[in-house]
Structure 1
């Protein structure tokens, strides 16, 4: 996904290294996930705190602050399992920057899940990410925003897998993407069944269902569409 790295405001700089053990204390983490922390993560830094007192944007109960964490990878990447454990331990939305390599070979990518507060643990969407970019890539200014919720949406929008619709709330976008992922899995399953189905009449029915699901997926991912209430897969 082609999207920028952001130039975080100097007034929001925090720069505190967080020991991995802190996340073990604030979340239920299995032995397997702890091993991933040890094997994949070199260092976790709470790099920036985007809040009313640091960047003068009004907060809300849904987005009281936005944290920016940089995670230095020991190898090629850090798994989403580790990011999920961090996300669930921190009661604020997080934007991650994963850093791999050193010197001229250093690369960075931004990755984040949409986090909905109000439950324990908070609800997380799938993770969305930029491509890997050279660490010295020029950074873009923050997207324009009137408050922290709109800033959060503005940060996430460029890394979403398809375009948002006019006037669509971020929670609605995430819901639409969840539906699209379910349809993609169903389409893949139908394609496998069609390849292996020996009976012509059943194959014809499977192809009809595949056309319906494919049309429904196209409607879900069309930025010009306003609703999916009449999508064929719902009937």
Structure 2
């Protein structure tokens, strides 16, 4: 996790509250997920719209605009599947600022979004740590256009730096593989602790070392 919040340009302020029901209308939201919307979310605000008309950066079909949504939670957090439902119903890249209802702290959350003709494709979500609402904010990263700005904003959320020449989508794929390996390593460690047979312990240690080496190459 990182701790960078951005100072969104006043020229990009939009400030429109969006009813939760709008996301029911535009997405296949099952009953259990609707209940999460009701239980977890106090308010959703379309806070900023980063576009050529507001920040003087050209968009493309890949990143025509960037939206910033403020999601105010009723309790400690908002579930990832709720954010996914919102994300998939909006045909633009989104950066979320989730405001925690219990103490008004906030964090920025986003997943790399690839636009398509139908439902957008989302990568894993990454986030800043929880920060005070009045925490200092950094200016937007310098960028020549909206796709480059989007890459820079997402890169700031990753737990590791992007490698030379690596796109954010490839970096998020790398982090997803790392997360999978971490789960496999944890499972192997549990098996190793309870395995009574020596020859099987040796096999498990070898598998564990292989996965640990693979994980180290990704980080």
Which segment is superposed worse, 58-67 or 28-37? Answer: 58-67
Do the aligned residues in 1 keep the contact of 2:143 with 2:149 (CA within 8 Å)? yes
Equivalent residue number for residue 140 of structure 2: 142
Choose which of 166, 169, 174 in structure 1 pairs with 2:167: 169
Moved more, 200-209 or 188-197: 188-197
Deviations 1:127-165 (A, max 9, x none): 111111111112110011111111111111121122210
Q: Distance in 2 between matches of 1:55 and 1:159?
A: 21
Matches within 5 A, 1:1-235: 1-101=1-101, 105-118=103-116, 120-221=118-219
Contact 2:40 2:78 in 1 (8 A): yes
What is the alpha-carbon distance in structure 2 between the residues aligned to residue 121 and residue 108 of structure 1? 28
1:150-208 residue CA offsets vs partner (Å, 9 max, x unmatched): 11111111211222101101121111112112211211121121112111111101101
Q: Secondary structure at the match of 2:122?
A: strand
- Residue-pair matches, total: 219
Q: Unpaired runs of 5+ in structure 1? A: 222-235
The whole-number CA distance in structure 2 between the counterparts of 1:101 and 1:31 is: 23
Instruction: Please report how far the alpha carbon of residue 119 of structure 1 lies from its aligned counterpart in structure 2 after TM superposition.
Output: 5.1
- Output one character per residue of 1:1-23: Cα deviation in whole Å (capped at 9) or x when no partner: 23211100111111100011100
SS at match of 1:45: strand
Give the 3-state SS of the residue equivalent to 2:125 in structure 1: strand
Cα pair 2:3 2:131 within 8 Å, conserved: no
Shift of 1:97: 0.5
Secondary structure (helix, strand or coil) at the match of 2:203 reads helix
Q: 1:120 Cα shift?
A: 3.0
Unaligned runs of 5+ in 2: none
Cα distance in structure 2, aligned partners of 1:208 and 1:161: 28
Distance 1:196 1:202 in 2: 11
Residues 69-128 of structure 1: CA deviation (Å, up to 9, x unaligned): 0011111211111101100100111000011248xx421111111111115321111111
Higher RCO structure (Cα 8 Å, ≥6 apart):
2
